[in-house]
Amino acid sequence: MPLQEGVWSSWEMIPGKIFFLELSPKLSSSPPSMSETYTQWTMASWNISTQPEPEVVPQISLVPTLALLLGLPIPFGNIGEVMAELFSAVEDSQPHSSALAQATALYLNAQQVFRFLHTYSAAAQDLQVEEFHRLNNLFSKASADYLRLLQSPQGAEAALQTVITELQEFLRGVRAMCIESWARFSLVRMAGGAALLAAACFLCLLIAQWATSPGFHLRPLLLIPVAWGLAGVVVCAGLLATTELKLDPVVLGAVAAMGSVLHILWKAWAGWGSKRPLAALLPIPRPVLLLLLIRFAAFFSDSFVVAEARAIRFLLGSLILLLVAQLHWEGKLLPPKLLTIPRFSAPTGPSRHKGTHALGLGVGLLLCIRLAGLFHRCPEETPACHSSPWLSPLASMVGGRAKNLWYGACVGALVALLAAVRLWLRRYGNLKSPEPPVLFVRWGLPLMVLGTAAYWALSSGADEAPPRLRALVTGASVVLPRAVAGLAASGLLLLLWRPVTALAEATMGAPRMRTVLTPFSGPPTSQADLDYVVPQIYRHMQEEIRGRLERTKSQGPLTVAAYQLGSVYSAAMVTALTLLAFPLLLLHAERISLVFLLLFLQSFLLLHLLAAGIPITTSGPFTVPWQAVSAWALMATQTFYSTGHQPVFPTIHWHAAFVGFPEGHGSSTWLPALLVGANTFASHLLFAVGCPLLLLWPFLCESQGSQKRRQPHGNEAEARVGPEEGEEEPLMEMRLRDAPHHFNVALLQLGLKYLFVLGIQILACALAASILRRHLMVWKVFAPKFIFEAMGFIVSSVGLFLGLALVMRVDGAVSSWLQQLVLAQQR
């Protein structure tokens, strides 16, 4: 067990201790037995005083000591000090020989530390200049004295002791200077950063809660806190200037955030707290709140951070089971349909669908999570765990038949992903649109699949290529990834240019309504029967005469009809996600394509499961439940681990920097960093860009229930046929355009909820790294986890902004497109 836990694992530590003691020449000829050694060590571990307290030796001093005793070079980055007592000669030798052996060991150690110190000082400028020059002069003097004593070794015992003292002073001074430089913690900055993160999370939560209130106005709510924050910065800067203290931007930012939060809290207490309990400001359901608390507290445990990949799968599976149980309890186990009752009221109509719909979605999700868990990478702290062999590239496989089978499976995953996107677009009719993005989906995506498959074939068999074709293979390995990335960029530009994937048709003549006469048996026997039959005959005669007149005209009035507007937002989002997925897929190993296919399938199943429990209101407000946002964020983290990543630096996929650039990047650093970052945080980017689907999907699924509702009843007196046959066509996503204010507020609320969930995670990581800054595993577990969470938060924020911006771009393009249709019809 690690030392920081306070307990030593006895039998695991004894062999290492005996090995260490056997290297010491000071031991007697008869070493102690195992039982005696264990007894003495156990009494010492329980602080039973059997002998004087031994000298405390830093752990970093064991590395140079063992290296010199074994005759190995000292590791370059070590700054420990050798244990000079172990390098004494045998007991009957001369004191001069023992002192010379100790001085030699210390000199070799000091040479290595001096080289490291100069190399580090040339790369970084954080060492103290005066102390660095003092230690440099001290090593020069000690080195000159040692070399002089080697030339005249007789009668120099006192000089050797002086050299030993100087070398030890140099080594200890270097270690103290490095520790002071590397382990500098500013408590003020850490507290200011934590306060800044907490204030940002609190602001996201409050604004997300207030966004649905009737008197919500975004501009005053944001401008007034900014003014308060600036006032707090001015006051704080004035106080620091008058007291002649150094201005710290982190502290000023924390003061600005707290100043803005004070205004929000005052407004909440004055406008809300006096009427309702303060607990109403926290609308998070208790299961989701418990989940967030568990996530928040677990980041303080190094064991949880190491085993987070398994814990995330458990939490996500538990949340899915909770969603299915909640749907069953509330009686919402059917596809979402239009509800005219209040949002939190129970549905009144009888259930016409079986609960197997949601149950099947939940089982499918759990199965996908289980399959994605097969692509796991074990952390270094768990040597008993074995990473999945499927994370390695195909080029590392030996068997030709197995390689071919895996290559076929990877290409099949690409084809399945392409076919699923095309079938989905065809299902909602967007594939019939003549717009450039749809044409690119028809022809550009197959080219991207073909280029990706060809690149995989070349990279997996590059070593087996004939010598005369290796130049061609190398050139193709450079061209193909760039071509796929260029095609994806072109598709995204076309999507931004013409994002409306709808169809407009012009017809001659206005759509005509035809009345169907209900059969009437027998002659009219009363005045009521005459009043019912005669108007029908009259309307029928009118329609017949009008139809004959229209047929006699050479040209009728122009009518423009628009189709596939109900899925225009989701079609743009799905197309953008597909175009983003292919370049990101190229940066991973070939078999990760199966994980990407599972990613899209998981997202599809989760969206349908969440849409089953979200009723659609006619006029707003439109909200996304906290359960949906939490599940979406957990799935992003789960996919991060399923693609073979871990929040530590040794597991970064550095090979991604050379995809398309096998010869390197020269002096450029931003491009390889961008490629490696895109490989590492691909799941964060995809799920953040696709976050608006949580709002759009319930409206998209409205068409499922409307197909059965449009069936006409046989006992109706009248039925309309033609363009408005049966009931009205479902508006689907166009229902959001009927309430533009609620639509914009819903997008804002969704983004703030997602940022709040991610902000809670990074806040927990920041607090864990600051509170446990003296923990033995801080640089191995907590600090890398904080860095990865911070970078993931930045990538997710950028992706969320891009996703929301795409939805707003589609909304503006739809408005312009409809205006053009109206003008065309008026002409």
Compute the mean pLDDT over every residue in the chain, rounded to the nearest whole number: 77
- What does the pLDDT average to over 87-105? 71
Note the pLDDT of residue 761: 93
Report yes or no: 749 and 211 within 8 Å, Cβ to Cβ.
yes
Q: Which residue did the predictor score with more confidence, 202 or 763?
A: 763
Nearest 5°: phi and psi at 460? -75, -25
Single pTM value for the model: 0.77
Grade residue 545 by pLDDT with cuts at 50, 70 and 90: low
Q: Which tens digit of pLDDT belongs to each residue from 239-250?
A: 666 766 666 666
Residue 458: pLDDT above 70?
yes
Highest-pLDDT range among 89-98, 167-176, 514-523: 167-176
Grade residue 312 by pLDDT with cuts at 50, 70 and 90: very high
Closest CA to 226 of 188, 264, 280, 173: 264
Tell me the C-alpha distance between 534 and 540, whole Å. Answer: 10
Q: Name, in order, each residue with C-beta under 8 angstroms of 624's C-beta and a sequence gap of 6 or more.
A: 614, 694, 695, 746, 749, 750, 753
Q: Which tens digit of pLDDT belongs to each residue from 714-760?
A: 433 333 334 444 445 567 888 888 888 888 888 999 999 999 999 99
HEC secondary structure over 626-685: HHHHHHHHHHHHHHHHHCCCCCCHHHCCHHHHHCCCCCCCCCCCHHHHHHHHHHHCHHHH
- What does the pLDDT average to over 85-97? 63
Report yes or no: 167 and 110 within 8 Å, Cβ to Cβ.
yes
Grade residue 561 by pLDDT with cuts at 50, 70 and 90: low
Element (H, E) at 721: strand 720-721
Rounded to the nearest 10 degrees, the angle between the axes of helix 157-182 and helix 129-151 is 160
Report yes or no: 714 and 626 within 8 Å, Cβ to Cβ.
no
Note the pLDDT of residue 2: 40
Tell me the C-alpha distance between 729 and 723, whole Å. Answer: 10
Note the pLDDT of residue 475: 87
Grade residue 301 by pLDDT with cuts at 50, 70 and 90: confident
The residue ranges of every structural domain in the chain are: 1-19+27-53, 55-182, 187-283, 287-345+353-503+566-663+682-720+736-826, 511-556
Tell me the C-alpha distance between 690 and 570, whole Å. Answer: 9
Beta-bridge partners for 53: none
Tokens of 687: 């799920």
Percent of the chain with pLDDT over 90: 28
3-state helix, strand, coil in the chain (%, to 5): 70, 0, 30
Pairing verdict, β 558-563 and 503-508 = antiparallel
Report yes or no: 163 and 103 within 8 Å, Cβ to Cβ.
yes
Q: Which tens digit of pLDDT belongs to each residue from 361-388?
A: 889 999 999 999 899 888 877 778 888 8
Residue 19: pLDDT above 50?
no
Lowest mean pLDDT among 198-212, 254-268, 487-501, 794-808: 254-268
513: number of CA atoms within 13 Å, CB side?
7
- What does the pLDDT average to over 391-396? 87
Report yes or no: 637 and 312 within 8 Å, Cβ to Cβ.
yes
- What does the pLDDT average to over 630-644? 94
